[in-house]
A and B are shown apart, each in its own frame.
Chain A
Amino acid sequence: MLKRVHFPSSPLPYLLVAPQIAITLVFFIWPASQAMYQSFLIEDAFGLSTEFVWFENYELLMEDKQYLDSFGRTIFFSAAVAFLSMSLALVLAGFADRVIRGAMVYRTLLIWPYAVAPVLAGALWVFMFNPTLGIISYALEFVGVNWNHYLNGEQAMALVIFAAAWKQIAYNFLFYLAAMQSIPRSVIEAAAIDGAGPMRRFITIVFPLIAPTTFFLLVINAVYAFFDTFGIVHAVTQGGPANATTILVYKVYNDGFVGLDLGGSAAQSVILMALVIGMTVVQFRFVERKVQY
Chain B
Amino acid sequence: MIEQRPLLTAMSHIIMVLGVILVAFPIWITFVAATHDDIRMVQAPLPLLPGEHFFENLDKTLFGVGLSGTESAPVWLMLLNSLAMALMIAFGKIAISLLSAFAIVYFKFPFRMGFFWMIFITLMLPVEVRILPTFEVVASLGMLNSYWGLTVPLIASATATFMFRQVFLTVPDEMLESARIDGAGPMRFFFDILLPLSRTNIAALFVILFIYGWNQYLWPLLVTTETDMTTIVMSIKQMLEAAEQSPQWNIIMMTALLAMLPPIVVVIGMQKLFVQGLTETDK
Contact = CB atoms under 8 A, between A and B. Distances in A.
A/B: CB atoms within 8 Å of each other: yes
Interface of A: 1-7, 9-10, 12-14, 16-17, 19-21, 23-32, 34-35, 38, 88, 91-92, 95-96, 98-100, 102, 106-121, 123-128, 132-135, 138, 166, 169-171, 174-175, 178, 188-189, 192, 198, 216, 220, 227-228, 230-231, 234-235, 249, 252-253, 256-257, 262, 265-266, 269, 272-273, 276-277, 280, 287, 290
B129 A276 contact: yes
A227 B161 CA distance: 22
B147 to A, nearest CB: 15
A226 to B, nearest CB: 8
B176 interface: yes
A178 B105 CA distance: 30
Contacts of B105: 2-3
Given A99-B16, A102-B13, A138-B44, 16 more contacts: A14-B109, A20-B99, A28-B156, A31-B136, A106-B20, A109-B20, A116-B215, A119-B234, A127-B253, A132-B44, A134-B46, A166-B23, A252-B129, A269-B131, A273-B125, A273-B129
A232 to B, nearest CB: 9
Q: Tell me if B's interface is mostly helix, strand, loop or mixed.
A: helix
Contact of A269 (B33, B106, B129): B129
A31 B133 contact: yes
B211 A276 contact: no
Contacts of A114: 211, 267, 278
Interface in B70-95: 95
24 contacts: A2-B112, A4-B173, A9-B107, A10-B186, A32-B130, A34-B137, A100-B1, A102-B13, A106-B19, A111-B271, A112-B23, A115-B260, A115-B263, A116-B263, A117-B214, A117-B217, A120-B236, A123-B237, A123-B256, A124-B256, A249-B128, A256-B131, A266-B132, A269-B132
B110 to A, nearest CB: 9
A5 B15 CA distance: 55
B16 A96 contact: yes
A161 to B, nearest CB: 14
Contacts of A9: 107-109
Please indicate which of the listed interface residues A9, A13, A230 has the most CB atoms of chain B within 10 Å of its own CB: A13
B112 A276 contact: no
Given A110-B23, A115-B263, A273-B125, A265 B2 contact: no
B124 interface: yes
A220 B282 contact: yes
Contact of A112 (B25, B27, B104, B137): B27
A292 to B, nearest CB: 13
Contact of A19 (B96, B118, B138, B249): B96
A111 to B, nearest CB: 6
Contacts of B15: 91-92, 95
Given A115-B260, A124-B26, A20 B19 contact: no
B228 interface: no
Nearest to B221: A234
Contacts of B112: 2, 13
Contacts of B161: 20
Please indicate which of the listed interface residues A108, A119, A249, A280 has the most CB atoms of chain B within 10 Å of its own CB: A119
Given A124-B256, A265-B132, A92 B211 contact: no
B268 interface: yes
A115 B264 contact: yes
A211 B67 CA distance: 49
A30 B134 CA distance: 8
B29 A135 contact: yes
Contact of A5 (B3, B176, B216): B176
Please indicate which of the listed interface residues A16, A178, A216 has the most CB atoms of chain B within 10 Å of its own CB: A16
B23 A24 contact: no
A154 B64 CA distance: 38
